[in-house]
Structure 1
Amino acid sequence: MIKAWFKSGSPWIWMTAGAVSINLLLVVGLLLLIAIRGLGHFWPADILEYQYRDQDGRNSVIIGEEVDESLLHEAQAREAGFEVLNGAEYLHKYLVKTGNRDILGSDFRWILDQYIREKSTPDDLIAVERREWGNFYGRLLAVKQNGETIATGEQAWPVAGEKLAKALDLFDEIDRLQNKDVGAVNYNLERLRLKQRALELKNQWDDAKSREFAAQKQAYEEQYKVIQTQLSQLNREIKTYSIVVSEAGGREINIPLNRVVKLTRPNAMSVLDKAVEYVKNFKAFITEDPREANTEGGIFPAIFGTVLMVMLMAVVVTPFGVIAAVYLREYAKQGFITRIIRIAVNNLAGVPSIVYGVFGLGFFVYIIGGNIDRIFFPEAAPAPVFGTPGLLWASLTLALLTLPVVIVATEEGLSRIPKSIREGSLALGATKAETLWRTVLPMASPAIMTGLILAVARAAGEVAPLMLVGVVKLAPTLPLDGNFPYLHLDRKFMHLGFHIYDVGFQSPNVEAARPLVYATSLLLVMVIVGLNMFAIAVRNNLREKYRALEN
């Protein structure tokens, strides 16, 4: 009976199904872990106040968020110099995010449960998210304008919120002027300088050109002076507001509101208020720029750079992969040379990605980019334009990396189209090229989309080659902006995968960066899934469209 069951093949079917189920459970479990650790970071946690008496008998007050807890064996505690009270085998300890790095020197501190005399959550404790030095935890004492106190006590909180909203509006206006208006003026001045240098190299620079360029330069400088006047007025206005806060030790500190991002009182929030704040925090994470060595703020430039690079890669790899597959399947003589080419294509899919990065750096950047600079941009020398890593070379490198996937998938799609379809088209008078373009390729389009889906999934998660051909820790400007030619293929960019590596392994503040690693990883998965779902929807539409022809 058992022997017959094994011969029927049913055990192997069940084993395969079980292995697939285990893999699915592991993937779902991993995604849940990432989601819980990452999304939990945005929930406004309560701020605790500890009355603490350490092993030396010193009393102190500690204010902060409880972010982790663990057990410490009594032997380890004694080795670390801690006294073990009540003969406990394990000591309970908490990791508290105390913030106030400019005062305490670090954001986090481990405290032992046995030394905590009292723990409470007073409603008046506030969290101040700052542009520098991380969070501040303490109590709000007063609000000042031009150095004079305008609100204290319970009146300070609504006034502080009102003045912060105004300060944030001013900050946004300053940021717009500095990054867009001043950036546009500087960009135009640099283009004017390069045009002048190009005319000088061609011996076409004369007095008429000099006067014309001087007039344009004067106009740009006048624009710059107007913007600088506006910036000076806004900076003077934004610096008039400040808040007075007290830290855990009772020390009073003045914090200008131009350095503050957000003021919250988590202990006084209801669940609904926290839910609203949670949505705001997550929105800020995906729409704002990073701060504090990428350990604070958002990751919008990384999301933008990842999506733009993948789209450019798809635009490049699809036509080349389809053309190569059509040639190998429809035109090339099926012999020894063709088999060697197919073996080479399959082997390319297994080459480590860092090798593609080295090739892209040497061939695309130094050879092609260097020659482009020498021929088309001599006026920019010695500064490189395309002879340096950038968005274009990163996209081409990943297109080369994913090219074998598209070729193999397209060939498989072409091989599944019945020969009778081709013969029928030729019998009706169509040429071979017309048969391919109007009949074969449309029917093979679902397979082409499958190859593109696989290519996108791999390219979006690659990091190693990008470190050599264009990705950076922090890009000052996006590759797409309002300055001609709008899409700047020579610029460096940020990438979600590299952002995860940088925050997780290169961050100066590991504890603060840990939840951002989970959150960024979740967003990377969501971006890949979103791109794939779009491609899958297109593929399914094409499959339904040409199903009748296949039948």
Structure 2
Amino acid sequence: MKEWMRSGTPWVWLTGGAVAVSLVMVLGLLLMIGVRGLGHFWPSAVVEFDYAQEGQQPVRVLGELSRSETLTAAAMREAGHAVPEDQEIVVRHLIKRGNRDVTGSDFVWYLGSYSSEWRYPSDAMVLERLTWGDFIGYLREYREDGEVIVSGSEARQAFEARLQETQRMVREIAHIERVEIGAVNREMERLRLVERGLNLRDELGAAEREQRQAELAAERAELDAEYAALQARRNDLRSELRRYSIVAEVMDGRMQEIQLGEIVKAWWPNDMGFFAKLGFYGQSFWDFISGFPREANTEGGILPAIFGTVMMVMIMSVVVTPFGVMAAIYLREYAKQGPLTRAIRISVNNLAGVPSIVFGVFGLGFFVYFIGGGIDQVFYQEALPSPTYGGPAIIWASLTLALLTLPVVIVSTEEGLSRIPASIRQGSLALGATKAETLWRVVVPLSAPAMMTGLILAVARAAGEVAPLMLVGVVKLAPSLPVDGTAPYLHLDRAFMHLGFHIFDVGFQSPNVEAGRPLVYATALVLVLIIIILNLTAIAIRNRLREKYKAESD
């Protein structure tokens, strides 16, 4: 036994077992996130049953099964729920009824003991709406200008045909409001700031000031005319949308009229085949990836959060890599090795253990208030007191995370530099190269894989950080992306959305927890996939560099 322990075999098996357990845990976590997140986009069947508690009239329930639980009857009674006396185990079902604007709550628990046999009506309809969440019911009439055009089973065909046209008009309205009117508003704001800047410049003469103000007034008149035309076009589309509506029956028998302009999409899940559901699943997931959020982030897509996360990581990588590499080169190759250098290395290592929220506080005070506020005082006085760079912005978030991940890059680069054999340096110097030439043409290229390793670790940590971003740049809902078609095209002064903060907001700040629960898993899965893609890209570059310089050294 002692010989076996001394041989090291137990430690090999222990290490292998730990690795296996870690892999199982990671894969299990990813599987759980994937199943719970991606399952949200599959069109669930709509169930219908009669629910009658003791001494009450039965009511019809219509909705999608969210999840089921098995509890003890005693626990249910302690919680104040009515449970049959002869039961010890109770099964209850969480039904998504939708229709929050009609019933007040779209998720309700129902006991299986009081439920009749479940039915799956083929004409049960689900609508995704711009507001008030999903609607679940039965289509009864299709109307135009308030008059019934088609009713009964034939209303579905007319409704689906008209819905495609109304969706096109809704997209056009969104484009007018978000892009065209947004561009006009930005130009108006620019003119306002220019005019205010003229009033702040005392050196201008009266004639020059009046001429410039007249030019600004002419530009403003053109913008006003353009805005009026866009507004008229938008109002015409809205008026056209108000012409079309449907009448649907809610589960309690009430009729509700719904404007087609409020409907994002409609489907009949109980009447769909497997391939129809598969196509719907793919389209729903794509809408989630490419859409903008709605309803306090519990509906719609996450495109702004994906864009903000990737862009922030890219800016952070561009900043942290040269600074980390230069600091490591100085500490390893140029700095005199002594107590001061050792103290700096200890400080760098300790910096890696500082809580991330501390970096957020530092970024808020130094980057946002000091640097950003100073920039506003010098270059954007006409915009004050509204901040330009003196508020939350993607540039300050990127710089804060660059500081957060700087120790990782420094340590990895130093390790790479220390692994370069001294014979390579001596050979280069013997051939007549200077120390700088040896460093930049021999040592640094050979240590490039280690630098990429540091960058990989930095990206992995920065992409998932949330706490510091809440102070220096991230917001719940960003009105516009940091990149658009307006000069200078890259707007580093804008706040942005982040997948990590989006998960926190939907999971813990949402007014409708049950509706946001699957979106938390789906967003977490997207964040993990983005981190994996970024890391795999960096790993591929590192491997390519490693093979390249290995071949050259051979």
Please tell me the TM-score bracket, short chain as reference. over 0.9
- Tell me which residue corresponds to 2:540: 537
- The answer as to 2:156 corresponding to 1:157 is yes
Aligned length: 550
Task: Report if aligned partners of 1:52, 1:62 keep a CA contact under 8 Å in 2.
Answer: yes
Structure 2 counterpart of 1:488, one-letter code: H
Matched, 1:489 2:488: no
Paired residue type of 2:116: R
Aligned counterparts of 1:180 and 1:92: Cα–Cα separation in 2: 51
Q: Name the counterpart of 2:138.
A: 139
Q: How does 1:390-539 map to 2 (within 5 A)?
A: 390-539=393-542
How many Å apart are 1:164 and its aligned residue?
1.1
Describe how 1:94-113 pairs up with structure 2 within 5 A. 94-113=93-112
Change (3 A) 1:115 1:383: same
Look up the SS of the partner of 2:197 in the other structure.
helix
Match of 1:355 in 2: 358
SS in 2 for 1:120: coil
Corresponding residue for residue 224 of structure 1? 227
Query: How well do the aligned residues superpose, as a CA RMSD in angstroms?
Result: 1.3
Report the more deviating stretch, 222-231 or 101-110.
222-231
- Secondary structure, in 3 states, of the residue corresponding to 1:388? coil
CA shift, 1:436, in A, is 2.2
Q: Is the 8 A contact 1:52 1:118 kept in 2?
A: no
Find the aligned partners of 1:52 and 1:250 in 2 and give their Cα distance: 15
Q: Which AA in structure 2 matches 1:50?
A: F
> How far apart are the structure 2 equivalents of 1:82 and 1:210?
72
Query: Which residue number corresponds to residue 28 of structure 1?
Result: 27
SS, match of residue 155 in structure 2: helix
Question: Equivalents in 1 of 2:177, 2:329: separation in Å?
Answer: 51
- 1:81 Cα offset (Å): 4.9
Q: Which residue of 2 aligns with 1:312?
A: 315
2:99–2:132: 8 Å Cα contact kept in structure 1?
yes
* 1:190 lines up with 2:193 in the alignment: no
Supply the distance in 2 between the matched residues of 1:92 and 1:338 (Cα, whole angstroms): 67
Amino acid at match of 2:356: S
Q: Which amino acid aligns with 1:239?
A: R
Residue 121 (structure 1) aligns with: 120
Match of residue 75 from structure 1: 74
Alignment match, 1:19: 18
Inter-partner Cα distance in structure 1 for 2:82 and 2:344:
72
Residue-by-residue CA offset, 1:32-53 (whole Å, 9 max, x unaligned): 1111111111100000011111
What is the identity, as a one-letter code, of the residue corresponding to 1:512?
A
Residue 380 and residue 41 in structure 1: after superposition, are their counterparts in 2 closer, same or farther (change >3 A)? same
Q: Please list the CA deviations of residues 426-467 of structure 1 after superposition, one character each: whole Å capped at 9, or x if unmatched.
A: 333333222222222111111111100000000000000000
Deviations 1:119-152 (A, max 9, x none): 1000000001111111111100111111122222
Structure 1 stretch displaced more, 410-419 or 310-319: 410-419
Whole-Å separation in 2 of the counterparts to 1:195 and 1:210? 9
SS for the counterpart of 2:534 is: helix
Among candidates 300, 304, 308, match of residue 301 of structure 1: 304
Report the more deviating stretch, 450-459 or 111-120. Answer: 111-120
Give the TM-score normalised by the residue count of structure 2. 0.97
Contact conserved, 1:51 with 1:60, CA < 8 A, in 2? yes
CA contact (8 A) 1:373 1:384 kept: yes
Which residue of structure 2 aligns with residue 254 of structure 1?
A: 257
CA distance in 1, matches of 2:198, 2:183: 23
- Compute the displacement of 1:517 (Å): 0.7
Match of 2:391 in 1: 388
AA in 2 matched with 1:536: I
Distance in 2 (CA, whole Å) between partners of 1:467 and 1:79 is 41
Partner deviation per Cα, 1:231-256 (whole Å, 9 max, x = no partner) = 12111112211111000111111000
Q: Which residue of 2 aligns with 1:56?
A: 55
Give the conservation status (yes or no) of the 8 Å contact 2:198–2:209.
no
Aligned to 2:447, the other structure's residue is in SS state helix
CA distance in 2 between counterparts of 1:249 and 1:536 reads 58
Q: Deviations over 1:360-401 (max 9, x none)?
A: 001111111111111111111111111111101000000000
Q: Does 410-419 or 270-279 show the bigger shift?
A: 410-419
Taking only the aligned residue pairs, the percentage that are identical comes to 57
Provide, for residues 62-107 of structure 1, a one-character-per-residue CA deviation record: whole Å limited to 9, x for no partner.
Answer: 0000111111212123334555447221011111001111111111
Contact 2:61/2:251, CA 8 A, preserved across alignment: yes
Give the Cα separation in 1 of the matches to 2:243 and 2:83.
52
Partner residue in 2 for 1:371: 374
Aligned partners of 1:347 and 1:283: how far apart in 2?
43
Secondary structure in 2 matching 1:179: helix
CA contact (8 A) 1:55 1:82 kept: no
Question: SS state of the match for residue 493, structure 1?
Answer: coil
Query: What one-letter code is carried by the residue in structure 2 that aligns with 1:131?
Result: L
Give the aligned residue type for 2:170: F
Q: Which amino acid aligns with 2:14?
A: M
* AA matched with 1:494: M
- The 10-residue stretch of structure 1 (411-420 or 96-105) with the greater mean CA deviation from structure 2: 411-420
SS of the equivalent of 1:118 reads coil
Please list every run of 5 or more consecutive structure 2 residues that lacks an aligned counterpart in the other structure.
none
Distance change >3 Å, CA 81–CA 415, structure 1 → 2: closer
- SS in structure 2 opposite 1:96? strand
Matched position secondary structure for 2:136 = strand
Greater mean deviation of Cα atoms: 409-418 or 462-471: 409-418
Output the CA distance in 2 between the equivalents of 1:479 and 1:459. 19
Please, which moves more after superposition, 197-206 or 228-237? 197-206
- Work out the CA distance in 1 between the residues paired with 2:81 and 2:313: 54
Q: Normalization by structure 1: what TM-score?
A: 0.98
CA distance in 1, matches of 2:147, 2:86: 55
Distance 2:240 2:154 in 1: 22
CA distance in 2, matches of 1:457, 1:67: 34
Is the 1:417–1:550 contact (alpha carbons within 8 Å) kept by the matching residues of 2?
no
Cα separation, 2, equivalents of 1:135 and 1:166: 21
Q: Distance in 2 between the 1:55 and 1:447 partners?
A: 71
Structure 1 residues 386 and 83 mapped into 2: Cα distance closer, same or farther (>3 Å)? closer
- Offset of 1:27 from its aligned partner? 0.8
The amino acid across from 1:293 in the alignment is A
One-letter amino acid of the structure 1 residue matched with residue 97 of structure 2: T
C-alpha deviation, 1:420, in angstroms = 2.4
Q: What CA distance in whole angstroms lies between the structure 1 residues aligned with 2:432 and 2:233?
A: 71
- Residue type of the alignment partner of 1:123: S
Asked if the contact 2:67/2:94 (under 8 Å) is kept, the reply is yes
Match of 1:337 among 336, 340, 343: 340
